[in-house]
Structure 1
Amino acid sequence: MKLKEIFIPPRLHKGVLHVWLRNFLYYRKTWVASILWTCLEPLMYLGAIGYGLGSYVSNIDGGSYIEFFFPGILCFTAMFVSFIDGTYGNFAKFTYQKTYQTIMLSPVSPEEVVVGEILWTTSKGFFGACGVALVGSLLGLVDSWRIFPTLLFLFSVSWLFSSIAMIVTSIVRNYDSFIYWTSGFLTPMSLIAGVYFPIGQLPDGLRHAAWILPLTHALAAVRDILDGALTWRSALSVFLVLFFGWVLTNVAIHRIRRKLLR
């Protein structure tokens, strides 16, 4: 892959929306189960950890534990839903169902197929974050208009992890390989990125290493946006999420296109 291909935007047309719409039409047939899977698991975390475990924590960063944990579960949901649906779902469509190959029989380019699929899994991660935000508002955890720019930024977070998921899809050979990415990448990242406790509690080396992870920057920016305390650090985190979302999308396009055109 040439360096310039990482930064030059692909030529896209309405085929992207057609791919997204194809997924949406299928989604309508299973929307009840999909919504339950998308929202129920994060809400169980919110209840079990935020309220259950949080009842034993009197104060954290000047507030209750549930107030600290809520931004974390928002980011976790956007990341987890986008990545899981973007790996298992896309691998099935690419390898077994041959959906991508079938779509390309129509006037839709490989670039449009990839971006359309990334847009769809991004939408699902965004829907999940919106569901958690809605429940949070009912519980009194959302009391500011700043939840709207937060959700807008979470769309970018979902896009980033959807792009990573598409790259992983282009690498693995079977379903079993995904467990290495979820257990070796997703889960450790969520444990040290500040979802469950401030990363300041980590040892120095691990704390510095945590800032290499995309979830750390995403969560830091979400906390600052919700608090209305934007700083140069949060601006840098927003930029990095957007930048790497762009770059990794182009990498995913290159890898999937090469496989489709073999």
Structure 2
Amino acid sequence: MKSLSLPTTWESMRSVWSRNFLQFRKTWLVSIFWIVLEPLFVLGALGYGLGSYVPQVHGTSYLEFFFPALLCNTTMLVAFFECTYANFTKLSHTKLYHTALYTPMMPNHLLGGEILWGASKAMFSAVGVLIIALALGAVGSAKIILALPVIFLSSCFFAMLGMLFTSLVKNYDQIIYPSSGLIVPLSLFSGTYFPLEAMPKALQVIAYLSPLTHAVSATRAIQQGQFSAMLVINIAFLILLLVGLSRITARSFERRLID
């Protein structure tokens, strides 16, 4: 008689991911409007519209300067909000996570699966926007495809950050604090819409602490074929932040489940 074996960590995480994907398939058309069409509207308004009035930035057109930032910024928003509002419902209202603990799943399995899903949904957005932008000729170089692993790394960080705040807030209204107080400033002041050099020195120093700054810088460098030491620093910084945040998030999420 065969003995039953417990699922591995990866199998459990994949189960969480698969559940989210099946749910996504039911509402994919609605999701496309948010994760693909909305960034394309921004690309048209700023990349083409504003870009027609802006001279070259760092020796390149404003459109090519802005597009890598658009991908990083969009994936940040998708990953963060996917792992806050939707997962807070599972945590506090439907009690889905608590129910899952009656199975062989552990808190870290749930956490890992949700982070992977949040990052995956963000990548669906990035790939969708990138394919359409390449087809329209909005991107001068296909080298930016090589930056997708960097964008995925950044997406994992912001998905994890979303899970951290999900484990801390007490109601939906409190999500506005990290959203408006952290995510919006990161979106605006991380070298996304204008070069960091345009800001005062003090703000530049603060901006270099932003994970989005390093994601944008690395993606932009890869698009322009600038494989320098700074690119390595950008990626290393993202990895260090991800590792450090993982321990904090795991403890906070498990504590919230137990409480």
TM-score scaled by length of structure 1: 0.92
Query: 1:62 Cα deviation (Å)?
Result: 1.2
Q: Is 1:249 the equivalent of 2:238?
A: no
Per-residue deviation, residues 125-164 of structure 1 (Å, max 9, x unmatched): 1111111111210121335452232112111110010011
Percent identical residues: 42
What 5-or-longer segments of structure 1 have no aligned partner? 1-10
**d(CA) in 2 for partners of 1:45 and 1:171?**
32
Which amino acid is 2:161 matched to? Answer: I
Q: Is 1:227 the equivalent of 2:224?
A: yes
**d(CA) in 1 for partners of 2:193 and 2:123?**
21
Equivalent in 205, 208, 211 of residue 208 of structure 2: 211
* Structure-2 residue corresponding to 1:6: none
CA contact (8 A) 1:200 1:207 kept: yes
Per-residue deviation, residues 167-219 of structure 1 (Å, max 9, x unmatched): 11111111111112111111111111111010111111111111011111111
Q: Is 1:104 the equivalent of 2:101?
A: yes
Q: Say which SS state the counterpart of residue 58 (structure 1) adopts.
A: coil
Superposed, 1:118-137 pairs within 5 Å as 118-137=115-134
Which amino acid is 1:96 matched to? Answer: H
* Structure-1 residue corresponding to 2:33: 36
* Structure-1 residue corresponding to 2:70: 73
* Structure-1 residue corresponding to 2:158: 161
Query: 1:232 Cα deviation (Å)?
Result: 1.4
CA contact (8 A) 2:66 2:192 kept: yes
Equivalent in 9, 12, 15 of residue 9 of structure 2: 12
Equivalent in 58, 71, 79 of residue 61 of structure 1: 58
Structure 1 window deviating more from structure 2 (69-78 vs 130-139): it is: 130-139
CA contact (8 A) 2:64 2:139 kept: no
TM-score scaled by length of structure 2: 0.93
Which amino acid is 2:175 matched to? Answer: F
Query: 1:108 Cα deviation (Å)?
Result: 1.0
Q: Say which SS state the counterpart of residue 14 (structure 1) adopts.
A: helix
* Structure-2 residue corresponding to 1:146: 143
Runs of 4+, deviation exceeding 6 Å? none
**d(CA) in 1 for partners of 2:85 and 2:246?**
18
Q: Say which SS state the counterpart of residue 83 (structure 2) adopts.
A: helix
Query: 1:12 Cα deviation (Å)?
Result: 2.6
**d(CA) in 1 for partners of 2:54 and 2:145?**
29
CA contact (8 A) 1:57 1:65 kept: yes
* Structure-1 residue corresponding to 2:48: 51
**d(CA) in 2 for partners of 1:12 and 1:253?**
14
CA contact (8 A) 2:134 2:142 kept: no
Alignment: residue pair count: 252
**d(CA) in 2 for partners of 1:13 and 1:135?**
33
* Structure-1 residue corresponding to 2:236: 239
**d(CA) in 2 for partners of 1:101 and 1:120?**
19
Root-mean-square deviation over aligned CA pairs: 1.4
Equivalent in 91, 95, 119 of residue 94 of structure 1: 91
